[in-house]
Amino acid sequence: MNMNKNKNKNKMFRVAVLGATGAVGREILAILDERRFPASEVIALASARSEGTEVSFGKRRLAVQVARPEAFEGIDIVLASAGSAVARKLLPAAVERGAICVDNSSAFRMDADVPLVVPEVNPEAVASHGGIIANPNCSTIQLVVAIKALHDAARILRIVVSTYQSVSGAGQKGIEELSKQSIALFNQKPYDVSAHEARIAFNCVPHIGPFGEDGYTQEELKLLYETRKIMADESIEVCPTAVRVPVFAGHGESINLQFERPLSADEARELLAAAPGVTVIDDPARKKYPMQMDCAEKDDVFVGRIRIDRSVPHGLALWVVSDNLRKGAATNAVQIAELVVAMERHRAEA
Amino acid sequence: MNMNKNKNKNKMFRVAVLGATGAVGREILAILDERRFPASEVIALASARSEGTEVSFGKRRLAVQVARPEAFEGIDIVLASAGSAVARKLLPAAVERGAICVDNSSAFRMDADVPLVVPEVNPEAVASHGGIIANPNCSTIQLVVAIKALHDAARILRIVVSTYQSVSGAGQKGIEELSKQSIALFNQKPYDVSAHEARIAFNCVPHIGPFGEDGYTQEELKLLYETRKIMADESIEVCPTAVRVPVFAGHGESINLQFERPLSADEARELLAAAPGVTVIDDPARKKYPMQMDCAEKDDVFVGRIRIDRSVPHGLALWVVSDNLRKGAATNAVQIAELVVAMERHRAEA
């Protein structure tokens, strides 16, 4: 009995990373290794295009296998970052074979029976999954991590957010395009535009994802609908503007909050200093505020420029930065998988 | 009598450009030439450091003279972009000598007896000058040009603005530093930081100008106080966040407006299409929205992404871009000088 308990407590999991050759997929593999995820096996899956290539997993190299339904046979946990179309096609097949899927695409995020989880905000939502758990969009994750403790303290009524999003949000090709275009411009050579909607080198592009309702892009609407779902509060108003900027890694967000109750800048600073997943960098006189160059390759959400917004009753303004490939995608997905591990081990013990 | 009238109507002016070797000074000279400013003479003034150098004025080259009080002898109009300390020292000496000064520094902007003018918004304010007329800050100019017609139609109660400001706002050295840092990073070489508060290449810096009241930078407070003064409405609330982005020319602004009365996106689009100094670029489905790469070296304020902000009653969101060296500085200064010309000619006629 005790032996069984121990066995269950130490249960190891067979893990598949779907979209393993992409920018987020590679980051997921790195983070699984860094965090010593309890994996008895890790397989790397991608489209047929990547067959025969290898990806890094710690000191090992994994041969990339073709993502097809049969590849999920015997897999316990899938970490998917393969885009919506592939997710819709393959993840139900993985679930049928008994896997629990953490999906980084937008395919299932707004489905009523799919939990949308940020472990610092709504870890309890994981419990209600039916095989798929959705990982929110990068810009939403850093927003909700930064505001959760403030919402609990003084209740947020309205959020105005303008983003400064890096090109890594458009994947490897987004990163390469900024690099190639910048070099082409310095050499007065022609350049291609394909990964972003317009030239991104030395330019800002107020267009991420297709335009949806009322002149907002889908990237912007995610900041509204995903925030409400994760915060479990349909009354929160959000007005988003999403802009791509010529930065390789890390998203910035200029955030204006309006609360129901008063909250001073010092109170907000204290709440945030104690909030999980948040690092406060806020000593502007000493040039201490979050910047993308400092926050890349880190896991936290960095909050600074915390100040009263006197233009409205109970207003507060923040500047928030996080690495969109780490906390904005891969780290959050692995954290969700860790919640799944804890739940499965607990279930096995019970 | 008629002859005199004609003479007055065609009166020509002796013009001094102070700070002629700077990024804005060079642009002022270019624009004086482009707009065929009625100058009988143009002299270029700068610090002793630049003595002996030359600057372009149309097809001509002007020898740079040292800016000292005597240099303003016989000058009718001074266009100054030499920083606050120099402006405080030299412009009173120019006024004593009978010149009318249009100053691009922040030295006199908030003085009660100095008009702060954007010709599309408050041209009438020029009339009350006592020798000095202040040119507003770049980010304020494009904001007020973009919102004036909307304010007249529905009265703005509150503005939330987050800026995406180019390095040319920090002058020639700001431009060169982005270029040098970018090249250094591509070559994995060390780089200097001096023109901006932190590395600007492939990074966003939420710090422009020294920190002032309540955690806001002076650049941000200008967006509050200058806007109220130009709009002649102390009740307008403004919450600003000013961020430097790695773009060479042109500032972007994400603007959320709250009005007293309802205003539809179509009504706003029509009002803006008819507003002086504004060009509407707003057909997002066809990727038509303002971008810095398209708006640099142009004189208008470009407005797009016009959409209802449903997070608040009577809300509207905009994305506004303008060339900070042109309309944000040099063009606006020359337009003010043109108002001075019209006023002086009218006065001479009367």
A contact residues 297-336, partner B, Cβ 8 Å cutoff:
304-312, 315, 317, 319
pLDDT at B3: 47
pLDDT the model gives residue B166: 98
| Long-range pairs for A186-192: beta carbons < 8 A, 24 or more residues apart | A186/B179, A186/B182, A186/B183
Measured between CA atoms, the residue of chain A closest to residue B168 is: A202
Contact list in A for residue B139 (CB cut-off 8 A) is none
pLDDT of residue A278: 98
In whole angstroms, what is the distance from residue B149 CA to residue A133 CA?
48
* Element holding A271 (H helix, E strand): helix A265-274
Q: Give the pLDDT score at A213.
A: 78
For residues B225 and A184, give the distance between their C-alpha atoms in angstroms, rounded to a whole number. Answer: 41
B48: its two tokens: 């002793």
**A138 among known catalytic residues:** yes
CB contact at 8 A, A182 and B182 = yes
Candidate from A211, A239, A256 with C-beta closest to B315: A239
Determine the residue among A311, A318, A324 to mutate to test chain B binding: the one whose Cβ has the most chain B Cβ atoms within 10 Å: A311
Distance, CA of A20 to CA of A42 (rounded, Å): 11
**A–B CB contacts, 8 A cutoff, strictly below:** 168
> Do residue A319 and residue B203 have CB atoms under 8 angstroms apart?
no
Tell me how far apart the alpha carbons of residues A43 and A24 are, in angstroms, rounded to a whole number.
15
A268 CB within 8 Å of a chain B CB = no
Mean residue pLDDT of chain A comes to 96
Q: Tokens 């025969």 map to which residue?
A: A52
Segment B26-47 mean pLDDT = 97
Pair of tokens at residue B117: 């003018």
Residue A48 burial class via C-beta count within 10 angstroms: exposed 0-12, middle 13-18, buried 19 and up: exposed
Mean pLDDT computed over B146-169: 98
Mean pLDDT across chain B:
96
To the nearest whole angstrom, how far is the Cα of A271 from the nearest Cα of chain B? 18
Return the beta strands (E) in B246-314 as ranges. 251-259, 278-280, 301-309
Q: Decide if B316 contacts B265 (C-beta within 8 A).
A: yes
- Report which of residues B7 and B297 the model is more confident about: B297
Contact at CB, A305 and B239, closer than 8 angstroms: no
Cα(B137)–Cα(B280) distance, integer angstroms: 22
Query: What is residue B257's predicted lDDT score, i.e. its pLDDT?
Result: 98
Q: Is B252 an 8 Å CB contact of chain A?
A: yes
How far is Cα of residue A162 from the mean position of the Cα atoms in its chain? 17
B350: three-class secondary structure by DSSP = coil
**Domain annotation for chain B: domains and CATH numbers:** 2-136+329-349 (3.40.50.720), 139-324 (3.30.360.10)
* pLDDT value of position B2: 44
The series of mean pLDDT values per 10 residues for chain A, 350 residues long, is: 61 97 96 98 96 95 97 98 96 98 98 98 97 98 98 98 97 96 97 97 98 94 98 98 98 98 98 98 96 96 98 98 97 98 88
Find how far residue B110's CA is from the centre of its chain.
15
CA B318 to chain centre: 19
- Answering whether pTM is above 0.80, one says yes
Q: List pLDDT tens digits, range B100-112.
A: 999 999 999 999 9
Contact B311 A198 (CB under 8 A): no
- Do A284 and B207 lie within an 8 Å CB cutoff? yes
B125 DSSP 8-state letter: G
Residue B214 has pLDDT above 80, yes or no: yes
The answer to whether residues A75 and A15 touch, using CB atoms and an 8 Å cutoff, is yes
Say yes or no to pLDDT of B251 above 60. Answer: yes
Q: Enter the ipTM.
A: 0.96
3-state secondary structure of A34: helix
Q: Give CA–CA dist A283/B302, Å, rounded.
A: 35
Of B308, B339, B301, give the one whose Cα is nearest residue B139: B301
Q: Which of B158, B202, B241 lies nearest to residue A246, judging by beta carbons?
A: B202
Query: Can you give A123-185 as a three-state secondary structure string?
Result: HHHHHHCCCEEECCCHHHHHHHHHHHHHHHHHCEEEEEEEEEECHHHHHHHHHHHHHHHHHHH
What is the residue whose two structure tokens read 């449903």? Answer: B310
Give the contacts of A280 (CB within 8 A, at least 6 positions apart).
A269, A272, A273, A302, A303, A304, A306
Active site amino acids of B: 138, 251
pLDDT of residue B10: 87
- Please, what is the Cα angle at A146 between A136 and A30, to 5 degrees? 55
Among B204, B237, B289, select the one facing A311 at the smallest CB separation: B237
CB contact B239 to A (< 8 Å): yes
By C-alpha distance, the chain A residue nearest B306 is A215
Three-state secondary structure string covering A221-262 = HHHHHHHHHHHCCCCCEEEEECCECCCCCCEEEEEEEEECCC
* Active site (annotated) includes residue A239: no
